[in-house]
Amino acid sequence: MSLSSSRQWTERKRLPKPVDLSEELGRYIGKQVSYATHGIHRYPAKFIPQIPRFCLESFSKTGDEVIDPFMGSGTTLLESYILGRDSYGIDIHPLAQLIAKVKTTPIDSAHLGMLSRQLFSRIRSDEDDNSEWIPEIPNRAHWFRDDVLRDLATIKKHVWRMRKGDSQDFFKICFSSIIRKMSNSDADSLIPEVTSFRKKLDEQGKTSFDAMGKFENTVRNKLIDAEGLWRISKELEEQARPPKVRIIGNDARDIELDDSEVDLAITSPPYASAVHYVSVHKLEMYWLDLLKDLAKLDGRVVGTSRAYMNEYRPWEPKTKIPELRKLLGELVEKEKKSAYIVYKYFDDMRRNFIEVNRVLRRNGRYCMVVGENTFRKVRIPTYVILARIAVNCGFELRDMYVYDVINRHLDIPRWNKSRIEKDYILVFRRRRASAIDCL
């Protein structure tokens, strides 16, 4: 499905009928979505690697430069690397940056194996009081047992005393991967939560708090992932110029690249108040020394639910997009703060469209994977409104695809018990330079 011009769509009431990829993408389950290092660390709302792969193979070629302005754990970056494209990634989340870095950095698995054996030996033989390595965590006793705190502190001490660099980062990610499992939180909860179900399992002796054993098993499993990426890197080295991966900056609204520098952008953006990305991994970030001020970081995230009275009280809804105008009207009737939160999200996305427009080369594509969500029991047609903004910001809607959400662990949790069954791939082409006022 292609459209001859953006004007053609803007005169219609609805988006054109998308091409359904559900059957094609539905084949990918289990290990087929976690090959190489794709499964190196759990991260919310990941799209399966076959989605950026589809976009890369459809709209780019070997040697092209690709950017993901909301890279998350780096799925697009790893697929770009495997397919021989240079890539840039941006994310405000410090743990996402570390995961993406480890996920896309090949390391000799034999060397990692040797380091892991030395590390296990040092940890197992350590009988010191390592309490100084326990971080300050709000309500710490609620989240961790005393024996778990001691074991995690010992593991951290020896990982942090390793030589800084790629290998140490690999073991930091392995350490991070066990934090939630060793906490009192229900491992299946999106946000850390000590549930009655988890307490019942503990009382029945059905949970394990063997942090050292869990760390060793995790490292061994991640070594298999690392070996897969190492083999891929050896094959890529046979190319004239192996692909590069760079993580640049932390703000998708202010991209640190020159004009017309990339050929393709691919992303799955956040939603308006849909996932509290900072809170999801707050326990891991405290242990990794990555979180100094949770509220401050959460307030900078695109899609944050934080808003202050001095921001929304003087604000009045104003937009040229009919779907957004209607949505804001519904929300204002419920609560002005909620309307402002949604408006701010779409305004932040406007800034992202302007920046991606700037860094894309002539006729470059922007592939955006997005669906709908619900806020304050009001349905938000996110993909429709973002398509409108993109067109106003100098893009042309060229292609549109839809697919059933495949893996619920990869699904985007939307509040108010809403369940979204489909996501869309919107493919925009850069048509002209963007105007500032496109919302």
Contacts of 313 (CB under 8 A, 6+ apart): 336
Can you read off the two tokens belonging to residue 250?
């932390």
Q: Is residue 141 part of a domain?
A: yes
Find the mean pLDDT for residues 1-14: 48
Shared domain check, 409 and 274:
yes
Interatomic CA distance for residues 86 and 83, integer angstroms: 9
Tell whether 389 and 323 lie within a shared domain. yes
pLDDT tens, position by position, 264-292: 999 999 999 766 778 899 999 999 999 98
**One domain for residues 69 and 189:** no
In a shared domain, residues 116 and 19: no
Q: 3-state SS of the chain: helix, strand, coil percent to 5? A: 45, 15, 40
Say if 101 falls within a structural domain. no
Q: Is 393 left (phi over 0), alpha (psi -120 to 50) or beta?
A: alpha
Instruction: Give a yes or no: residue 100 inside a domain.
Output: no
Whether pLDDT at 415 is above 80? no
Residue 351 lies in a domain: yes
Residues 285 and 420 in one domain: yes
CA torsion angle 382 27 429 253 (round to 10):
50
Q: What is the per-residue pLDDT across 122-165, written as a single tens digit (0 to 9) for each?
A: 999 999 999 999 999 999 999 999 999 999 999 999 999 999 99
pLDDT tens profile 225-271? 999 999 999 999 987 788 999 999 899 999 999 999 999 999 999 99
Same domain? 301 vs 373:
yes
Measured between alpha carbons, how far is 278 from 302 in angstroms, rounded to an integer?
Answer: 11
Enumerate residues 6+ apart whose C-beta is below 8 A from 403.
Answer: 20, 21, 22, 24, 25, 26, 51, 422, 423, 425
Give the model confidence (pLDDT) of 350-390 as tens digits. 999 999 999 999 999 999 999 888 888 899 999 999 999 99
Structure tokens at 3: 């459209």
Residue 123 lies in a domain: yes
Residue 3 confidence (pLDDT) above 80: no
CATH code for the domain of 77: 3.40.50.150
Shared domain for 312 and 355, answered yes or no, is yes
Position 213 scores a pLDDT of 96
The total of structural domains in the chain comes to 2
pLDDT one-digit tens code per residue, 108-123 = 999 999 999 999 999 9
Q: Which domain holds residue 228?
A: 109-234
Residue 366: inside a domain: yes
User: What's the pLDDT score for residue 26?
Assistant: 77
Q: Give DSSP secondary structure letters for 373-429.
A: EEETTEEE-HHHHHHHHHHHTTEEEEEEEEEE---TTTS---STT----EEEEEEEE
Is the confidence at residue 420, as pLDDT, over 90? no
Q: Of 213, 234, 255, which one is at a domain's C-terminal end?
A: 234
Residue 11 confidence (pLDDT): 44
Average pLDDT along the chain = 90
Tell me if 312 sits within 8 A of 340, measured CB to CB. Answer: yes
Identify which of 357, 363, 385 has the alpha carbon closest to the alpha carbon of residue 372: 385
Cα separation, 282 vs 285, whole angstroms: 5
Count of beta carbons in the 10 Å neighbourhood of residue 254: 11
Do 223 and 256 share a domain, yes or no? Answer: no
- Same domain as 77, residue 143: no
Is 258 in the same domain as 397?
A: yes
Q: Considering the domain boundaries, does residue 285 fall inside one?
A: yes
Say if residues 115 and 90 touch (Cβ distance below 8 Å): no
pLDDT at 274: 66
Domain boundary pick from 171, 199, 234: 234
Kindly report, residue by residue over 195-219, the tens digit of the pLDDT. Answer: 887 778 777 776 789 999 999 999 9
Whole-number Å distance between alpha carbons of 161 and 133: 11
Q: Tell whether 334 and 426 lie within a shared domain.
A: yes
Which token pair is 398? 């060229």
In a domain, 173, yes or no: yes
pLDDT computed for residue 4 by the predictor: 41
Q: What is the pLDDT of residue 28?
A: 77
Residues 296 and 399 in one domain: yes
For residue 412, the tally of other CB atoms under 10 A from its CB is 20
Among 208, 234, 260, give the residue marking a domain's end. 234
- 3-state SS, residue 338: helix
